[in-house]
């Protein structure tokens, strides 16, 4: 049985990692799979990615880096994404992974002109959701976790735009039939979000946002976990 690849593009804060694990742990927990089913590759440390034919699918994690600043480790990952897309491998890019997926396919990434989006927000799907393998059976509006300053400013020409939120036009897109970028964080809960909100308190206040209100209005939702579990089913051939 081929493993699910988790492409690790960064690390959370050290204190939080000790308490709650790292990005890949959050994905595995929310997806509700045995950790032995996942292959973790940290590309920020020069680890080589497997051939698309060797894995069942891939999740690309979030990161504290910015795609627009082209961190030195990112180029190999971009080339691998292009190979995965050509091979029609199921791919799910989360936040930084979403932006990386868009960049690899010809989109443009930069700082969100609407400011930081963090906390929980309503993600609204459009008519292109109908028949979509990943999102087709979900409600047209979902409450999901978000935490980002950069965004996909321009989608790749061949992308299907699927969803938006108040602060982000390009919350979800699809490339081909089985590759998705999601700006939201399906793996995060309010406990994790509140740590990130507090860490970004100065930025939020500078933008005129209320970090205390954002923490108070966090809502734990099962939608993120259900999305991750549905993606795993797709990697296993469940259509």
Tell the residue number behind the tokens 């970090």, with chain if given.
Answer: 211
Catalytic residues: 95, 185, 187
Position 176 confidence tier, pLDDT thresholds 50, 70, 90: very high
Cα-based distances in Å from 223 to 63, 73, 122? 22, 32, 11
Q: What are phi and psi of 159, to 5 degrees?
A: -85, 150
199 pLDDT band, cuts 50/70/90, is: very high
- 67-98: string of b/e by CB count within 10 Å (b at 16+)? beeebebbeebeebbeebbeeebbbbbbbbbb
| Arithmetic mean of pLDDT, 24-40 | 98
Token pair recorded at residue 143: 């409450």
Check pLDDT > 80 for residue 187: yes
CA distance 128 to 219: 27
User: Token pair for residue 188?
Assistant: 């995060």
Q: Read off the pLDDT of each residue in 85-109 and give the average, rounded to a whole number.
A: 98
The DSSP 8-state label assigned to residue 45 in this structure reads: G
Average pLDDT on 143-162 reads: 98
Angle at 39 between CA 227 and CA 119, to 5 degrees: 40
52-62 average pLDDT score: 98
pLDDT, one tens digit per residue, over 202-234 is 999 999 999 999 999 999 999 999 999 999 999
Confidence of residue 177 (pLDDT cuts 50, 70, 90): very high
Contact 90, 52 (CB under 8 A): no
The whole-number pLDDT of residue 197 equals 98
Write down the pLDDT at residue 1: 86
Q: Which of the four CATH numbers 3.90.280.10, 3.30.9.10, 3.40.640.10, 3.40.50.880 does domain 4-112+150-188+222-235 have? A: 3.40.50.880
| pLDDT for the residue numbered 78 | 97
- pLDDT tier, 192 (very low <50, low <70, confident <90, very high otherwise): very high
Binned at pLDDT 50, 70 and 90, residue 238 comes out as confident
* Predicted local confidence at residue 190, as pLDDT: 97
pLDDT value of residue 239: 77
**% of the chain with per-residue pLDDT over 90:** 96
Give the chain's mean pLDDT. Answer: 97
């Amino acid at each position: 049985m081929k493993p699910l690849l988790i492409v690790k593009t960064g690390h959370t804060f050290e204190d939080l990692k000790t308490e709650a694990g790292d990005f890949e742990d959050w994905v595995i927990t929310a997806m509700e799979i045995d950790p032995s089913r996942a292959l973790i590759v940290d590309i920020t440390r020069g680890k080589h990615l497997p051939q698309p034919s060797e894995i069942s699918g891939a999740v690309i994690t979030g990161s504290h880096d910015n795609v627009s600043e082209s961190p030195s480790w990112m180029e190999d990952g971009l080339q691998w994404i292009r190979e995965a897309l050509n091979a029609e491998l199921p791919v799910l890019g989360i936040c930084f992974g979403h932006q990386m997926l868009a960049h690899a396919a010809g989109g443009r990434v930069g700082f969100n002109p609407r400011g930081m989006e963090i906390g929980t927000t309503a993600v609204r799907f459009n008519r292109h959701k109908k028949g979509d393998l990943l999102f087709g059976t979900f409600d047209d509006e979902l409450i999901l976790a978000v935490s980002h300053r950069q965004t996909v400013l321009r989608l790749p020409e061949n992308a299907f735009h699927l969803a938006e939120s108040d602060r982000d036009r390009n919350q979800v897109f699809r490339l081909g039939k089985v590759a998705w970028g999601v700006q939201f964080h399906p793996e995060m809960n309010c406990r994790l979000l509140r740590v990130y909100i507090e860490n970004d308190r100065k930025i939020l206040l500078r933008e005129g946002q209320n970090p205390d209100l954002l923490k108070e209005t966090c809502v734990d939702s099962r939608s993120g976990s259900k999305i991750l579990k549905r993606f795993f089913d797709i990697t296993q051939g469940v259509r």
